[in-house]
Structure 1
Amino acid sequence: MALVRNNATALYRQIADRLRDEIAARLFEPSGRLPTENEIGARFGVSRVTVRLALDRLEADGLIERRKGKGTFTAGKRVQHPLDRLRSFHESLRLQGLDATMRPLSARIVATPRDLREDFGPHCLEVCRLHLVDGEPVALGRSLLPPALEPVVWQAAGNKPIYGILQDIVGKPVGGADIEVKAAAADAEVAVALGLPAGAPVLVMDRRSVFIGGGCADRSVFHIRSERYSFILSHRWEG
């Protein structure tokens, strides 16, 4: 519907009201990203100044947030992670249509914790990767893996999930996982990686995955920005 140019309501207010209705209708899901200022201006046939006034109004009402160099997003947009399906952290992001990437931070051989020695032996591989959505960090993942994965070049692995890498190298698919989710305060390392102040609240997902037929596949801990992420568990009534 076109704007009413001779209406007493200013053009920027009409645009703000139109975008407000579209945000309420969830038309900008799943990423929450709004069109660029130029795209909005072309759509309504108005100047960039008018578009900015409309966005200023929505921002003042707490409906959108502007991220420098990234664009404009609906406020409070959260990534969702279903707990009733076995998916890697990265795969869960990608299946929501998000621009999800991973950045390798480190990979090294470490002493295996006592409870994993039966599966991994005295030493295992520790891999740290930063998970990003639209180029912004949402989670820091630290995984303990079988030492057979030591030759992996993690920079070259790109965005391939650990579950896929495990199957390629070990030759066995992951068949299940136990997951615990809790709240914590970000320590200095986590805070720097996620762009948070030290002590900020984060979600912690502790995951122990097993291969089909038995044996630990990985032990991973994800520190997650709580304002950007939520866990969803669906139940169905049976009886």
Structure 2
Amino acid sequence: MYLQIADRLRREIAEGTYEPSGRLPSESQIMARFDVSRVTVRLALEQLDKDGLIERRKGKGTFVAGKQVRHQIDTLRSFHESLKVQGFDATMRIVELTTIETPSAFIPSFGTKCALLERLHRVGNEPIALGRSLLPSLMSEMDRDIAEQEPTYALLKDKAGADITSAEIAIGARAAEPRIASLIAAAENAVLLVLERTSYFDNGACAEWSEFFIRPERYKFVLGNRTIG
């Protein structure tokens, strides 16, 4: 029976049934679907694992091997929007939305006060990144429910009434601080991908400065047809 289930799942993987996220149903869902025991399901998944077709991540689920989130860095698109256009079940949760004293390096861009927006980005129930943005001070007045639904660029256009027309992006790596590691369920001092982005309105004014701390296991940056990370 487990070989029959493995063959069925193998065909579905080949047909792209689990695209675009690559996430297979849970063991419980497979048990209910085929009316079999958990042992049988695990034997089937072990067979697919041996065949190199799936990756099993403790506490996170089972994925088609090699399936990763991809971020096209040469396209002007917000982080959240990049997840949504790939069809992922992407959600955001606000960690912080407040007005702060602008760090000295950013006073020329935002003045002495600016808004700080931190959001946890998730795919399914799995945290994938923490986004931290400095924004014009008026952005601290936005509705929190809307800020958990809309990508940064849409929020800026709605509140500031201007389009984002350009952005500068830098990519690096950094050891996770304890607070960030806890929020995105990474090991303390784990090396994270870090995307730093500065975006500009059509009049040349700075719209936002953001940095994204990203778990690297299932994430790739793409430039044209080339992959980074």
Q: TM-score, normalised by structure 1?
A: 0.83
| 1:116 paired to 2:106 | yes
Give distance in 2, aligned partners of 1:119 and 1:182: 23
State, as a whole percentage, how many aligned pairs show the same letter: 48
Instruction: Write the letter of the residue equivalent to 1:114.
Output: S
Unaligned runs of 5+ in 2: none
> 1:13 and 1:26, CA in 2 relative to 1: closer, same or farther beyond 3 A?
same
SS in 2 for 1:150: helix
Aligned equivalent of 2:167: 177
State the Cα distance separating 1:108 from its structure 2 match: 2.0
Give distance in 2, aligned partners of 1:134 and 1:74: 15
Describe how 1:1-239 pairs up with structure 2 within 5 A: 11-23=1-13, 26-37=16-27, 40=30, 47-49=36-38, 50-59=40-49, 63-65=54-56, 68=59, 71-234=61-224
Q: Is the 8 A contact 1:116 1:216 kept in 2?
A: no
Equivalent residues, number: 224
Larger radius of gyration: 1
Q: Is the 8 A contact 1:37 1:48 kept in 2?
A: no
Unaligned runs of 5+ in 1: 1-10
Computed over aligned residues only, the root mean square deviation of the Cα atoms, in angstroms, reads: 2.4
Q: Is the 8 A contact 2:116 2:140 kept in 1?
A: no
CA deviation map 1:6-64 (0-9, x unaligned): xxxxx312332443354356442211122455765677x56245333212333455523
> 1:96 and 1:171, CA in 2 relative to 1: closer, same or farther beyond 3 A?
same
Give distance in 2, aligned partners of 1:25 and 1:181: 34
CA deviation map 1:132-176 (0-9, x unaligned): 000110000100000111211323432111111111111101001
CA deviation map 1:83-121 (0-9, x unaligned): 111000000000010100000011122222334322311
Give distance in 1, aligned partners of 2:63 and 2:202: 41
Q: Is the 8 A contact 1:38 1:48 kept in 2?
A: no
Aligned equivalent of 1:5: none
